């Protein structure tokens, strides 16, 4: 579990693209709702950090499984994974 910067949500599961340069965090909000965030790794000079790809946390669900299902349906590379590498 990883507490996110806003202090109000935490990552329940992180799923990495096989190339290691993209990831999705399935998040659990303080209000009990779940969502997801997609990130990409920037190796640009003076960055070397994870950058939000797009915000889909407006997609809030009442369960972890539903948030994972929504992420798999909305993020193209996740649709192609048979068994996603998780952390």
Residue 87 lies in a domain: no
Quote the tokens at residue 43: 């190796």
Q: CA-based Rg of the chain, rounded to a whole angstrom?
A: 13
Residue 85 lies in a domain: no
Phi, psi dihedral angles at 5 (to 5 degrees): -55, -35
Quote the tokens at residue 28: 């659990």
| pTM of the predicted structure, to 2 decimals | 0.77
pLDDT, tens digit, for every residue of 18-63?
999 999 999 888 888 999 989 999 988 888 899 988 755 567 899 9
pLDDT, tens digit, for every residue of 4-19?
566 667 778 999 999 9
Residue 50 lies in a domain: yes
Residue 84 lies in a domain: no
Distances (CA, A) of 40 to 2, 30, 53: 17, 25, 6
């Amino acid at each position: 579990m990883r507490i996110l910067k806003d202090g109000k949500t935490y990552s329940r599961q992180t799923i990495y693209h096989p190339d290691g340069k993209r990831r999705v965090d399935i998040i659990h909000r303080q209000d009990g709702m779940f969502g997801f965030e997609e990130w990409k790794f920037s190796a640009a000079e003076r960055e070397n950090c994870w950058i939000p790809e797009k915000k889909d946390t407006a997609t809030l669900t009442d369960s972890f499984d539903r948030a994972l299902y929504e992420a798999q349906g909305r993020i193209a590379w996740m649709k192609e994974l048979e068994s996603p590498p998780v952390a």
